[in-house]
Each structure stands twice: as structure tokens, then as C-alpha cells.
A = this chain, B = another copy of it.
Amino acid sequence: MPSNQQILLDNRPVGEAVASNFKLVDSTTPALQDGEVLVRHHFLSLDPYMRGRMNDSKSYAAPQPLGQVMQGGTVGEVVESRNTRYPVGDKVVGMGGWQQYSVVNANQPGALRKVDTTHVPLSAYLGAVGMPGVTAWYGLVKICEPKVGETMVVSAATGAVGSAFAALSKARGCRTVGIAGGPDKCKYAVDELGFDACIDYKQHQTAASLSKALKEACPNGIDGYFENVGGMVLDAVLPQMNAFGRIAVCGMIAGYDGQPLPLSHPALILMQRLKVQGFIVSEHMDIWPEALTELGTLVATGKLRARESIAQGLASAPEAFLGLLKGRNFGKQLVQLI
């Protein structure tokens, strides 16, 4: 029964999330029952969706319960096992939460997934070859429906989702344009991630100004847009959408703190006959195998080299998470736990 550091949700944010919403505690892991395994977490994934769950409000997922371990994706190694299908030494991805170890009933469908680290590093299963990668795949393939020669745009372009989006979109023969915050991220997007262009939204004070920059970067207009941000960015994109354009709404991080986030010109949805569709990737498990196969190949062949921001140690998770919400991370935000 190893000692197990955990981070609990202690209280809910009032407006902006703060470090004191979280509480670090020490516990020990319980003894294993039949079918269970003990997983030592190597990496914890930090993702924007976690902010939504910290609120006690109607949303797509049940709220994170107070006083319990923060939920989150993890990769690690089986270090004790009472399940013959998951022997000690197996590398697994699961929803282990913000803690060093988790005890998992491995017979429960979907609870653990074995992964192969021969060609793909373990941490990638939380990013490019994990939930964020599949999120990009679903939004691009199933909602943005890219055709060769079309223009696809994504916000939060250097994040885990945006990075995968770029590789998937380029593979489909599309002009691919990113929106990111700051010159370093924009340079990285073009030099390393394969974006044809990347716009620094921090250089623009108004939606009109950002929209003009998008027009220059997308001379044939925008056919597909993957929304991670909302607010001014969405207002800037909408006037550049071509007729019959598709918008996949995956995140509206700009509004997670509860401030109003109106859409200025919804009439453009009609004028340009747009399809605007929200989705949550966990509700589309049927496409995961196909998506993971493509994403794994892109990573193994070096066509998708997603950057990671790695915070060290569980205690650093709250600050790393708050930085993620403010766009301070650069690439997929992870916490290394060993």
C-alpha cells in the first residue's frame, strides 16, 4: 500500500479559478480486489474541459464532486495486479485522476487501454494519440469535412488539439491556418507543426482587425473552422467563412469563468448557410480506433511532432492548470509524476 499524493477539488471557483480551489492531501492506496490493478502514473494530462467541470452548473459532463480527487487522464504502468489480462509492467492509459497512483477494476470496459511505446512515447497517448488528437480528428473529419484545396482554420493552434488538427488537415490537402497567442507560438506553428500560416491574436484589439488578418491568410475564405476559444476569435472568423462552411465547436475557453461571451453576428450563419456544431469526443467512441490508428502513424512517422509543456510533480498541477487556462502553456500540458 504505497503512499499516494492526491489533489482534491476543495471548493468551486467564483469567477476565475484559483489555486486555493485545490487541496493536496496524502493518502495510501487500498488493497487490491480480484480484477483490480494498481497503476503508477507517469504523466497526468491537464485539459481545458476540466475547468467546466469545476463549476456546479448544467454542462455536458457531471460536475467534479467536491472533496474528491480531480478527474483527469493518466498514463502509467501496472505495478501490482490481480487481473491476468493486465500483468505488472503493462503500460496503460486511463482516467486515473490527479494523483500518483490509482486502483482500477481493469475488467470494466474502457477503464484501461494498453499502449505500445515502441514507436510512440508514453506521454503522446495523452496528447496526439489520445483524447486531444481524437478530438481534432472528429471535429475535422466529421464536422469540418475537409476537401482537397479547401481552407481549414483552428484556434489554440499550438495546443494538443491544434497540433493534431494541423497534421490531419495537411494530410487531406487543405490550406491550414492557425490562430495562436504570441509570436513564438505562431513561428512554431509554421516551422514545426506544418501550418501554412498562423495569426497572433494578441496583435489585434478588435474582432474586425483580427478578421482582416484572417482574410489575408485565407485569400479563398474559410471552409472549415475548429473552435477552441470563442469570444472575439469566433466573431473574427465568422465573416470570413465561405458559403456552406462548417464550424466544429469544441471549446469556448474564453467563457469558462462565466463572463458573458456573446456571438455578435449570428445572422452570418444564415447568410452563409453555415453548419455550426458542438461535440464532445467521449460521446463518439466508435471513431476512436480509426482516429488513433491515423494519429499513431502520423506520430511514429514524424509527421506530427507535438510539443509538450511538462510540469514536475503533482504539487505543480494546479498552477500548471491555471496557466493552461490563460494560454501560458506551449503545446500539450502534462504533469510528470515520476
Contact of A270 among B243, B251, B283 (CB under 8 A): B251
Contact of A271 among B60, B266, B270 (CB under 8 A): B60
Interface residues of A in 237-292 (CB under 8 A from B): 243, 249-252, 255, 260-267, 269-280, 283
A contact residues, total (Cβ < 8 Å): 32
A108 at the interface (CB under 8 A from B): no
Contact of A266 among B58, B60, B261, B277 (CB under 8 A): B261
A58: B residues at CB distance < 8 A: 271
A234 at the interface (CB under 8 A from B): yes
By beta carbon, the residue of chain B nearest A283 is B273
A59: B residues at CB distance < 8 A: 271
A146: B residues at CB distance < 8 A: none
Given known A262-B262, A262-B265, contact A270–B60 (CB-CB < 8 A):
yes
Chain B nearest CB, measured from A268 CB (Å): 8
The answer to whether B278 and A277 have CB atoms under 8 Å apart is no
The answer to whether A262 and B266 have CB atoms under 8 Å apart is yes
The answer to whether B275 and A276 have CB atoms under 8 Å apart is yes
A230 at the interface (CB under 8 A from B): yes
Given known A234-B266, A266-B263, contact A278–B271 (CB-CB < 8 A):
yes
The answer to whether A272 and B230 have CB atoms under 8 Å apart is no
A251: B residues at CB distance < 8 A: 270
A272–B265 alpha-carbon span in the complex (Å): 21
Given known A252-B266, A264-B260, contact A278–B283 (CB-CB < 8 A):
no
The answer to whether B273 and A276 have CB atoms under 8 Å apart is no
A262: B residues at CB distance < 8 A: 262-266
A59–B243 alpha-carbon span in the complex (Å): 10
By beta carbon, the residue of chain B nearest A250 is B270
Chain B nearest CB, measured from A192 CB (Å): 29
Given known A276-B277, A277-B274, A277-B275, contact A269–B249 (CB-CB < 8 A):
yes
Q: Mark A12-28, 1 if CB is under 8 A from B, else 0.
A: 00000000000000000
A250: B residues at CB distance < 8 A: 270
Chain B nearest CB, measured from A319 CB (Å): 26
Chain B nearest CB, measured from A320 CB (Å): 24
A181–B278 alpha-carbon span in the complex (Å): 31
Given known A60-B272, A60-B273, contact A255–B278 (CB-CB < 8 A):
no
Contact of A267 among B243, B252, B273 (CB under 8 A): B252
A230: B residues at CB distance < 8 A: 266-267
The 10 closest A-B pairs by CB, nearest first: A270-B278, A263-B266, A263-B263, A262-B262, A276-B276, A269-B278, A252-B267, A273-B278, A275-B277, A249-B270
A252-B267, A272-B278, A274-B276 given; 4 more Cβ-contact pairs under 8 Å: A260-B264, A263-B263, A273-B277, A275-B277
- 9 inter-chain pairs at a CB distance below 8 angstroms, sorted by A residue, are A60-B243, A60-B272, A230-B266, A261-B266, A262-B262, A262-B265, A272-B278, A273-B278, A274-B277
